[in-house]
Amino acid sequence: MRNKLSWFSAPYVVWMALFTVAPVILVVIYAFTAVPPAEGFTLDNFLRMKEFAVVFARSFRLALIATFICLLIGYPLSYFLAKEGPSFQKIAMVLIMLPMWMNFLLRTYAWMSILENNGFLNRMFAALGIIDLGNLINGGLNSLCASLNEGVLAWLNARLGTALLLSTDRATDMTYFRMLYTQGAVVLGMVYNYLPFMILPIYSVIIKLDNSLLEAARDLGASSARVFRKVIFPLSLPGVLSGVTMVFVPSVSTFAISKMLGGGTKLLLGDLIELQFLGGAYNPYLGSAISLVMMVIVVVCMYVMNRFGEGEEQAVVL
């Protein structure tokens, strides 16, 4: 019986070989293949990545910032939620997951119309006089810097032979704040889209903490701050790691968010890959090499996560 049943998976094994394993192998082969008309094995594709060091750096920087902000918001939120009553928690969890069932393009699009130059936020700022206030502050800073330039800095420059000058050309005639098509907007988009990925694993670890450990710590005289620092936080680290991975990986590989909120002029890694396959710079060899790097990043993240224990099931729930 058992052996007969194991043949049930034969079709899927063939399917996996064709559509999961073969494509990955193909990416590896392409990554080490010279761009035609040249032929044969080469490492050129990887060496060429040096040209895109800026893109790598920007991608990592933005993804790390977004992950960090998600952690700053997600950890306290999970902790506070775990303190609430059970029905509150249930509703809160549904509310956190609900936006994720809306397509992420729509969620990103929502921010486009909010951040636009004549969008919702700017109109609100204008109505509240915040933009005028900004102009006023900038004007004040300009005159302050001008007087500093003439006074202290002129004196210093004369003494030290330097040419220090403070900028005096801050805009004082703004009618809107430029928010859309900036890197800040891209980070905001990442945080907004992937925050639930941070909250859910952390929350599910905190909620499963062993009560007796906390009681033991309190009985032994630890203050609540100390219980948090010495017991709760260390024990919730697996959730944190899994949350960090689940936010970092999609953030570092996104291309739609950077196109929609970043304007598509400052490329991220995802944009770079997309360009090599569907864009004008058609070069699947280079694209495969970058994809291979991405795969290595993911494997490293997974390895680190698994070393520190659980958190795997969470990915399935989503």
Q: Is 184 in the site for other proteins (CB under 8 A)?
A: no
Which of 32, 52, 109, 177 is in the footprint of other proteins by CB under 8 A?
109
As measured in angstroms, the least distance from the Cβ of 250 to other proteins is: 7
Q: Which residues contact 182 (CB under 8 A, 6 or more apart)?
A: 262
Q: Is 175 in the site for other proteins (CB under 8 A)?
A: no
Which of 33, 62, 67, 111 is in the footprint of other proteins by CB under 8 A?
111
The C-alpha atoms of residue 238 and residue 306 are separated, in whole angstroms, by 9
The C-alpha atoms of residue 316 and residue 194 are separated, in whole angstroms, by 16
As measured in angstroms, the least distance from the Cβ of 144 to other proteins is: 33
Distance of CA 4 to the CA centre of its chain: 46
Q: Is 198 in the site for other proteins (CB under 8 A)?
A: no
Cβ–Cβ < 8 Å for 177, 114: no
Q: Is 114 in the site for other proteins (CB under 8 A)?
A: yes
Q: Is 310 in the site for other proteins (CB under 8 A)?
A: no
Angle at 79 between CA 62 and CA 222, to 5 degrees: 120
Read off the tokens for 160: 């030290």
Read off the tokens for 260: 């929609």
Query: Terminus-to-terminus CA distance in the chain, angstroms?
Result: 34
**Dihedral sign, Cα of residue 64, residue 70, residue 76, residue 82:** negative
Q: For the chain, what's the residue count?
A: 318
Residues 81-100 touching other proteins, rule: CB under 8 A, are: 81-84, 92, 94-96, 98-99
Total of residues contacting other proteins (CB under 8 A)? 96
As measured in angstroms, the least distance from the Cβ of 195 to other proteins is: 7
Q: Is 258 in the site for other proteins (CB under 8 A)?
A: no
Which of 61, 113, 171, 229 is in the footprint of other proteins by CB under 8 A?
113
Residues 134-173 touching other proteins, rule: CB under 8 A, are: none
Q: Is 181 in the site for other proteins (CB under 8 A)?
A: no
As measured in angstroms, the least distance from the Cβ of 153 to other proteins is: 41
Binding mask 1-20 for other proteins (x = CB under 8 A): xxxxxxxxxxxxx-xx--xx
Which of 80, 133, 150, 226 is in the footprint of other proteins by CB under 8 A?
80
Stretch that binds other proteins, among 33-41, 142-150, 165-173, 207-215 (CB under 8 A): 207-215
As measured in angstroms, the least distance from the Cβ of 139 to other proteins is: 27
Cβ–Cβ < 8 Å for 285, 34: yes
Tell me how far CA of residue 99 lies from CA of 107, 108, 251, in angstroms: 8, 11, 17
**What's the chain's Rg over C-alpha atoms?**
26
Which of 42, 138, 253, 283 is in the footprint of other proteins by CB under 8 A?
253
Q: Is 44 in the site for other proteins (CB under 8 A)?
A: no
Which of 48, 52, 65, 107 is in the footprint of other proteins by CB under 8 A?
107
The C-alpha atoms of residue 6 and residue 3 are separated, in whole angstroms, by 5
Read off the tokens for 226: 């100390």
